[in-house]
Amino acid sequence: MNGLRRMSGFTALSFAAAMLGTACSNSSTAPVAVSLTAAQADSVSSVIATDVQGEIDFSTANGAAAIGPSAPANTPPPACVTRTPASPTNSDGDPVPDSVRLTYTNCVVNYLLGGSDSVNGTIDILDPTPTVTDHAWKHIFTNFERVHTGPLGRQWTWTLNGTRQIIGDSAQLAFTSTNVSTDYTWPNGSSANHTRSWNITFTADTAGQIQPDSPLPVGTLTLAGTSTWTRGANTWNLVASTTAPLHFNPTCGVRPMFDAGVLKFVATRNSLVTTVTIQFTACGQYTVTRS
């Protein structure tokens, strides 16, 4: 194994993945002909780690109130979020309005270990079953952007577009994300895109603790699905799954807010295949291994 150590996250020292997190890359088990180099495996792993965290951000937002971005340090004031219409129609009387738009304008999120985000863009929240009283809602993200400024003043941008549908209750949420696309732009001007169709299940450690418009409680996350990762002129096809559920810890002061679990993905390009394993070891920290 080689001992390449790299920072990953919404920090001044990184170029992707988990806010203020640390990743270690080990890749000596990879064959000579591989689809991903060690550096590429680190890069796509950091993007995937960020996007897994991003999938569960706002997961309890059902439009009944205007909530801010989840953050371990603080939640931005409601004044930065506009709800349109202010009093949306709710035909079936369940917690989800028929249709409402949340617009975020320069919402600021500060992080315990330094750095901050400026959040802009819209989330449309719809009830996919507006005449049935249930626990289902849909999110449509449009140019939903987080601009992270690290402790040293460097910035990178994460922009989300796409549709996610959630069915759940106070014990468990089931997510279906279809062609959700994240564009990344790093301080050096380079960029990449990750477009995914994932199925995710989040289960609270203690049933009954998932509440509307509130941060997620401690729980586990499982994931399966496919995606493409494009950087420059190259595109990889990815198949991802959790081989051990990721443990979400909302008290983490860094992102991704997982302190255990294993996520594996198989990357294919030009008939070459690389398997990459991301093992989360502590809040915001994980190792990356190729095989």
Three-state SS for the chain is CCCCEEEECCCCCCCCCCCCEEEEEECCCCCCCCCCCHHHHHHHHHHHHHHHHHHHCCCCCCCCCCCCCCCCCCCCCHHHEEEECCCCCCCCCCCCCCEEEEEEEEEEEECCCCCEEEEEEEEEEECCCCCCCCCEEEEEEEEEEEEEECCCCCEEEEEEEEEEEEEECCCEEEEEEEEEEEEEECCCCCEEEEEEEEEEEEEECCCCCCCCCCCCCCEEEEEEEEEEEEECCEEEEEEEEEEEEEEECCCCCCCCCEEEEEEEEEEEECCEEEEEEEEEEECCEEEEEEC
Does residue 85 have a cis peptide bond before it, meaning omega lies within 30 degrees of 0?
A: yes
Give 15's pLDDT tier (boundaries 50, 70, 90).
Answer: very low
Residue 33: its pLDDT value, please?
Answer: 63
User: What average pLDDT does range 205-218 have in this prediction?
Assistant: 92
Residue 215: its pLDDT value, please?
Answer: 86
pTM, entire model:
0.83
Per cent of the chain over pLDDT 70 is 83
pLDDT in tens, 233-253: 999 999 999 999 999 999 988
Comparing C-alpha atoms, which of 284, 216, 174 is closest to residue 70?
216
Residue 135: its pLDDT value, please?
Answer: 87
Give 166's pLDDT tier (boundaries 50, 70, 90).
Answer: very high
Q: Out of 30-39, 70-79, 121-130, 273-282, which region has the weakest mean confidence (pLDDT)?
A: 70-79
Comparing C-alpha atoms, which of 55, 60, 27, 56 is closest to residue 42?
27
Of 64 and 272, the structure prediction assigns the larger pLDDT to 272
Residue 62: its pLDDT value, please?
Answer: 83
Does residue 78 have a cis peptide bond before it, meaning omega lies within 30 degrees of 0?
A: no
Give 189's pLDDT tier (boundaries 50, 70, 90).
Answer: confident
Of 62 and 123, the structure prediction assigns the larger pLDDT to 123
* Contact call for residues 211 and 170 (beta carbons, < 8 A): yes
